[in-house]
């Protein structure tokens, strides 16, 4: 079989607004799509019930269905891309390979290796900006420096956008040039979960695929006006919940930006502005990881590498399992464990709690989130953790420490979120639910929950830990002086 061109899809699992696919199909040559399951990534997933595998397979199944309707089919392989690609181009006599750029350190190394191998075989390799709206060289300060603080970066991002007439390109692939094949070797008749050694997780709250992503985006139109107020209230779940779709590319970043832009071009709207800022945060963290790959393992601010974390393993276990005795932290962690999702405000609360109350290295928490989050994305996760631990770009100062009790009272005032995930606390009222250990035995009996028996005592005392955290950080910063 002869397939002159192949498009390698990775974190861009869609057929619309796809830069590499459009570029390939525009040449007029017949083109097929390839997806490779890479053991270097799969082997990191020790939980064989990983929800992300199901999400990816659902996304591929949707693509396959649409391709089959066009008499085309996905090419799926399992193996090391550096070994798979030479075989693929030999098998199909391919002359050109296209893909969209990925800015993670492992992906950059992988793509460089594959490109070298293919070039040696006289196969032309072309890559495209797709995953971000602006790349590192497109948003620079006046002195052509990288921004290390978000607000000036965002201002320049918006200024650049405006100077380009707020134009959002749409890379519409011409599907007429898709490679057609009969009989179809369709993945829809295979059990990919079984081949990969994973279980299908049929209870995922968010299903993989562009049709689900577009439905969510459409649905979110009704809520975007109030986003600036509602985003911090986990109980109402009124953020877009699109991060998992943008992570796997069921939607493009341009799809995301079109929504606030269409509103803001007509009138001022705080919800749309704040939401657009969040999408710009995503570009910012992608840019930071691209320019400073060392942040994957190290503090962005090197002086914090000498922080002497306490790293108590029992405390870490209690944090992971949602048994710290701090209801807002426990409910957030139990929600993460059960669904793979967590609201941004809660991510900040539990991350701050881990680093600045339990005095545990942010890398432990980052790794746990990487295992659990459905939307896990190295750049955003690393950026979020380093922000919370005060070690990163644009981090909050180390002496600003989230008080888990006041965060709880402010953002879950009725205790509704807590009651969903810590059901043993359901009978406490809205005043006592944030710190149930402060109640007496009579109140606990009335609430049918004895602290220390039905729900844990706080594993540490917040006020004491706060002082220890200040001391721990100060010592590290001093060492550097
Ligand atoms: C400790 C910590 C870890 C995080 N880990 C991740 C992660 O692994 N993957 C991830 O996508 N986001 C991560 N975030 C950012 C943020 O929490 C999620 O993007 C957001 O909660 C996803 O929900 P949503 O889609 O409803 O977002 P919305 O509030 O609707 O925001 C819209 C989109 O903007 C982007 N976005 C929003 N906030 C941020 C942010 N702070 N940084 C970067 N992009 C943002 C996301 O793509 C999101 O889908 C983390 C934040 C913290 C504090």
Query: For the segment 108-144, what is each residue's pLDDT rounded down to a tens digit?
Result: 999 999 999 999 999 999 999 999 999 999 999 999 9
pLDDT-derived band at 479 (thresholds 50, 70, 90) equals low
Instruction: Transcribe 285-345 into DSSP letters.
Output: HHHHHHH-GGGGTS-SSGGGGG------HHHHHHHHHT-SS-HHHHHHHHHHHHHS---HH
Return d(Cα 175, Cα 447) in angstroms, integer.
62
Say if residue 312's pLDDT is above 70.
Answer: yes
CB-based pocket (< 6 A), ligand 1: 231, 239-243, 246-247, 275, 278-279, 281-282, 285, 343-344, 347-348, 351, 369, 373, 375-377, 380-381, 383-385, 388
User: What residues contact residue 87 under an 8 Å CB cut-off, 6+ apart?
Assistant: none
Query: For the segment 224-276, what is each residue's pLDDT rounded down to a tens digit?
Result: 999 999 999 999 999 999 999 999 999 999 999 999 999 999 999 999 999 99
Element (H, E) at 479: helix 462-480
pLDDT of res. 477:
86
- Please answer whether residues 51 and 207 qualify as being in contact, where contact means their C-beta atoms are separated by less than 8 angstroms: no
**Torsional sign, CA 59, 64, 70, 74:** positive
pLDDT of res. 395:
75
DSSP one-letter code for 99 = E
pLDDT-derived band at 47 (thresholds 50, 70, 90) equals very high
**Distance from the CA of 280 to the center of ligand 1, in angstroms?**
11
**Distance from the CA of 47 to the center of ligand 1, in angstroms?**
23
pLDDT of res. 205:
87
pLDDT-derived band at 481 (thresholds 50, 70, 90) equals low
- Please answer whether residues 388 and 364 qualify as being in contact, where contact means their C-beta atoms are separated by less than 8 angstroms: no
Say if residue 400's pLDDT is above 60.
Answer: yes
Name the residue with the closest Cα to ligand 1, atom 16.
344
Name the residue with the closest Cα to ligand 1, atom 21.
344
Name the residue with the closest Cα to ligand 1, atom 38.
278
Helix 253-264 vs helix 270-291: crossing angle, to nearest 10: 150
Return the percentage of the chain with pLDDT > 70, whole number. 99
Name the residue with the closest Cα to ligand 1, atom 17.
344
pLDDT of res. 472:
97
pLDDT of res. 184:
72
Fold exhibited by the domain 134-167+205-291 = 1.25.40
Query: Is 364 strand, coil or helix?
Result: helix
Pocket probe for ligand 1: among 218, 259, 344, the residue whose CB has the most ligand atoms within 8 Å is 344
Say if residue 480's pLDDT is above 60.
Answer: no
Across the range 6-27, mean pLDDT stands at 98
Helices (H), 70-222: 81-92, 105-120, 150-163, 192-196, 210-220
Do the domains 134-167+205-291 and 5-130 match in fold?
A: no
**Distance from the CA of 251 to the center of ligand 1, in angstroms?**
15
Q: Which two tokens stand for residue 215?
A: 């439905």
Give the residue extent of every domain in the chain: 5-130, 134-167+205-291, 302-480
Return d(Cα 321, Cα 181) in angstroms, integer.
50
**Distance from the CA of 243 to the center of ligand 1, in angstroms?**
6
pLDDT of res. 359:
98
Fold exhibited by the domain 5-130 = Rossmann fold (3.40.50)
**Distance from the CA of 60 to the center of ligand 1, in angstroms?**
24
Across the range 323-349, mean pLDDT stands at 97
Across the range 76-100, mean pLDDT stands at 97
pLDDT-derived band at 188 (thresholds 50, 70, 90) equals confident
Pocket probe for ligand 1: among 243, 368, 381, the residue whose CB has the most ligand atoms within 8 Å is 243
> Among candidates 53, 160, 149, which has minimal Cα distance to 376?
53
Atom number, ligand 1, closest to the C-alpha of residue 342: 21
> For 353-362, b where at least 16 C-beta lie within 10 A, e where not — what string?
bbbbbbbbbb
Atom number, ligand 1, closest to the C-alpha of residue 241: 26
Query: Is 140 strand, coil or helix?
Result: strand
pLDDT-derived band at 183 (thresholds 50, 70, 90) equals low
Say if residue 186's pLDDT is above 80.
Answer: no
Across the range 41-62, mean pLDDT stands at 95
Name the residue with the closest Cα to ligand 1, atom 40.
281
- C-alpha angle with apex 174: 168 to 178, nearest 5 degrees? 135
Say if residue 314's pLDDT is above 60.
Answer: yes
CATH architecture of 302-480: Orthogonal Bundle (1.10)
Mean pLDDT of the chain: 96
**Distance from the CA of 344 to the center of ligand 1, in angstroms?**
6
Name the residue with the closest Cα to ligand 1, atom 33.
279
**Distance from the CA of 73 to the center of ligand 1, in angstroms?**
33
Say if residue 67's pLDDT is above 60.
Answer: yes
Name the residue with the closest Cα to ligand 1, atom 18.
344
**Distance from the CA of 284 to the center of ligand 1, in angstroms?**
12
Atom number, ligand 1, closest to the C-alpha of residue 243: 49
Atom number, ligand 1, closest to the C-alpha of residue 365: 1
Across the range 410-431, mean pLDDT stands at 98
- Please answer whether residues 71 and 185 qualify as being in contact, where contact means their C-beta atoms are separated by less than 8 angstroms: no
Name the residue with the closest Cα to ligand 1, atom 37.
278
pLDDT of res. 147:
97
Catalytic residues: 278, 281, 309, 344, 362, 385
Atom number, ligand 1, closest to the C-alpha of residue 242: 25
């Amino acid at each position: 079989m002869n397939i002159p061109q192949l498009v390698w899809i990775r974190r861009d699992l869609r057929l619309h607004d796809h830069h590499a696919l459009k570029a390939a199909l525009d040449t007029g040559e017949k083109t097929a799509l390839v997806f490779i399951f890479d053991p270097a990534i799969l082997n990191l997933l020790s939980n064989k019930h990983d929800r992300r595998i199901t999400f990816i397979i659902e996304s591929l199944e949707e693509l396959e269905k649409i391709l089959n309707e066009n008499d085309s089919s996905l090419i799926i392989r399992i193996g090391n891309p550096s070994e798979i690609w030479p075989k693929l181009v030999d098998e199909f006599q391919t002359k050109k390979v296209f893909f969209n750029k990925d800015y993670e350190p492992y992906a950059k190394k992988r793509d460089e290796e594959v490109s070298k191998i293919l070039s040696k075989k006289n196969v032309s390799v072309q890559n495209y900006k797709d995953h971000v709206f602006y790349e590192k060289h497109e948003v620079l300060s006046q002195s052509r420096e990288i921004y290390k603080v978000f607000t000036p970066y965002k201002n320049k991002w918006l200024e650049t956008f405006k100077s380009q007439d707020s134009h959002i390109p749409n890379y519409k692939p011409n599907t007429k040039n898709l490679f057609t094949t009969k009989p179809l070797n369709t993945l829809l008749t295979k059990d990919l979960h079984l081949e990969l050694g994973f279980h299908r997780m049929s209870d995922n709250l968010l299903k993989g695929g562009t049709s689900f992503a577009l439905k969510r985006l459409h649905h979110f139109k009704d809520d975007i006006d109030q986003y600036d107020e509602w985003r911090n209230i986990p109980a109402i779940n009124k953020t877009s919940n699109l991060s998992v779709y943008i992570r796997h590319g069921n939607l493009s970043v341009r799809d995301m930006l079109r929504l606030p832009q269409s509103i803001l071009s007509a009138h001022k709207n705080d919800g749309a502005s704040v939401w657009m800022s969040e999408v710009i945060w995503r570009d910012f963290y992608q840019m930071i990881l691209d320019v400073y790959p060392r942040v994957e393992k190290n503090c962005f601010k090197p002086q914090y590498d000498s922080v002497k974390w306490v790293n108590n393993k029992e405390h870490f276990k209690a944090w992971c399992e949602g048994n710290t005795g701090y209801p807002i932290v426990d409910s957030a962690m139990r929600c993460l464990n059960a669904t793979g999702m967590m609201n941004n405000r809660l991510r900040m609360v539990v991350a701050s709690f881990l680093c600045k109350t339990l005095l545990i290295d942010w890398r432990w928490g980052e790794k746990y989130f990487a295992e659990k989050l459905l939307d896990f994305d190295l750049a955003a996760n690393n950026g979020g953790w380093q922000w919370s631990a005060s070690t990163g770009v644009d981090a909050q100062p180390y002496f600003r420490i989230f008080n888990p009790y006041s965060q709880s009272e402010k953002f879950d005032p009725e205790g509704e979120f807590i009651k969903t995930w810590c059901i043993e606390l359901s009978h406490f009222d809205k005043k006592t639910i944030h710190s149930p250990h402060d109640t007496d035995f009579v109140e606990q009996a009335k609430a049918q929950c004895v602290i220390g028996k039905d729900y844990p005592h706080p594993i540490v005392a917040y006020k004491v830990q706060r002082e220890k955290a200040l001391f721990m950080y100060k010592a590290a910063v001093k060492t550097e002086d």
